[in-house]
């Protein structure tokens, strides 16, 4: 229905239990709440809200232009339609230490199960681009300590992302990760590892739970679920995958309409009306008002 009945606290507690199971958890990205419903339908473990996707949804590049209110509303709208836990990207925390405190409180109140905070200088860059700049390790430690202390729900997962691999090198990324764990981070997100061997070496060096970012067209090879499981990673995100799939279809469809004057040639790559209504649970609304769902659709509609 409109809002999922599982409480925010229950989703966070279930998420913590799943992390302790030793299973690799898969979190595809969602660019709107309908996609989150599809993620749940296909049996994934959670939903991810990418900072890049949240910016792109506003027609903006991923360079720190979004506001805390914009991303909180985006992630909150996704979180409330699914029983799955939602984790989100909060970039650099939208400011200094005090801003980070407010950020954690706002996203927690929105129903999100966890978030990741990164050690880039603002304005930040996409993690798989060159030219990134980092804040000092000491400054990031202050942010993580403040974030950890500001949680109201101890099950809210605080993930520290380090972009040090592409700036200071692999050893520095490990050093920062260890410091971030000591500061109170529950999980580490090592961004832009360059090979399977680096993913493996990072796992051996860090005892805390690890997040792997399997974003397409980046600096990391797309490792399979089995490979990540064998390496001992705890969570994998596919941050922009659904947006890339959708936008490719949109471009193909718009081009077809422009060339032929009709969408008839691309009907086979469209979601049907009946499938859309199925995803939305349209028939369930009939329990409240018999006038809302009093029609039939055939499978081709």
Residue 91 among the catalytic residues = yes
Distance CA 27, CA 45 (A): 6
Q: Of the listed 14, 40, 106, 118, which one is catalytic? A: 118
Catalytic residue chosen out of the listed positions 12, 125, 126, 233:
126
More confident residue, 267 or 4: 267
pLDDT band, very low/low/confident/very high, at 129 (cuts 50, 70, 90): low
CATH superfamily of 8-239: Phosphoenolpyruvate-binding domains (3.20.20.60)
Beta bridge partners of 189: 161
Q: Which residue has the higher pLDDT, 74 or 290?
A: 74
**pLDDT reading at 38 higher than 80:** yes
Active site residue 16: no
Residue range 32-43: mean pLDDT, rounded: 97
Which pLDDT does position 51 carry in this prediction? 96
- For the question of residue 203 being annotated catalytic, the response is no
Active site residue 175: no
- Ramachandran assignment for 254, one of left (phi > 0), alpha (psi -120 to 50 degrees), beta (any other): alpha
Look at the block and give the residue holding tokens 């200088």.
121
Mean pLDDT of 165-181: 96
Specify whether 161 is catalytic.
Answer: yes
Task: Tokens for 198, please give them.
Answer: 């680096």
Q: Summarize the confidence of residues 63-83 as an average pLDDT.
A: 96
Is the pLDDT reported for residue 117 higher than 90?
yes
Strands across the sheet containing 235-238 = 25-28, 235-238, 211-213
Active site residue 244: no
Asked whether the beta carbons of 46 and 25 are under 8 A apart, the reply is yes
**Mean pLDDT to the nearest integer, 72-83:** 97
Q: Give me the catalytic one of 8, 12, 116, 203.
A: 116
**3-class secondary structure for 130-172?**
CCCCECCHHHHHHHHHHHHHCCCCCCCEEEEEECHHHCCCHHH
* Average pLDDT over all residues of the chain: 93
62 assigned to active site = yes
The pLDDT of residue 285: 81
């Amino acid at each position: 229905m409109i809002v999922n009945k599982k409480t925010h606290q229950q989703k966070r507690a279930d998420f913590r239990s799943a992390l302790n199971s030793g299973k690799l958890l898969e979190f595809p990205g969602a660019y709107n709440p309908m996609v989150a419903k599809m993620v749940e339908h296909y049996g994934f473990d959670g939903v991810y809200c990418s900072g890049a996707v949240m910016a792109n949804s506003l027609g903006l590049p991923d360079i720190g232009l979004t506001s805390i209110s914009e991303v909180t509303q985006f992630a909150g709208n996704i979180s409330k339609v699914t029983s799955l836990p939602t984790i989100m990207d909060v970039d650099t925390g939208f400011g200094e230490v005090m801003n980070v405190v407010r950020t954690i409180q706002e996203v927690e109140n929105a129903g999100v199960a966890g978030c990741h905070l990164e050690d880039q200088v603002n304005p930040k860059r996409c993690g798989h681009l060159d030219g990134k700049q980092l804040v000092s390790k000491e400054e990031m430690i202050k942010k993580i300590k403040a974030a950890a202390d500001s949680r109201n729900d101890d099950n809210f997962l605080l993930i520290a992302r380090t972009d040090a691999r592409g700036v200071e090198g692999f050893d520095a990324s490990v050093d920062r990760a260890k410091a971030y764990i000591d500061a109170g981070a529950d999980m580490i997100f090592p961004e832009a590892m360059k090979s399977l061997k680096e993913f493996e070496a990072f796992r051996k060096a860090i005892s805390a739970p690890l997040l792997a970012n399997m974003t397409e067209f980046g600096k990391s090879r797309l490792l399979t679920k089995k490979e990540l499981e064998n390496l001992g990673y705890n969570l994998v995100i596919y941050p922009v995958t659904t947006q890339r799939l959708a936008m490719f279809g949109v471009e193909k469809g718009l081009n077809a309409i422009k060339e032929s004057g009709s969408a008839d040639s691309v009907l086979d790559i469209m979601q049907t009306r009946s499938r859309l209504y199925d995803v939305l649970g349209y028939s369930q609304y009939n329990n409240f008002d018999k006038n809302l769902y009093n029609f039939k659709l055939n499978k081709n509609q």
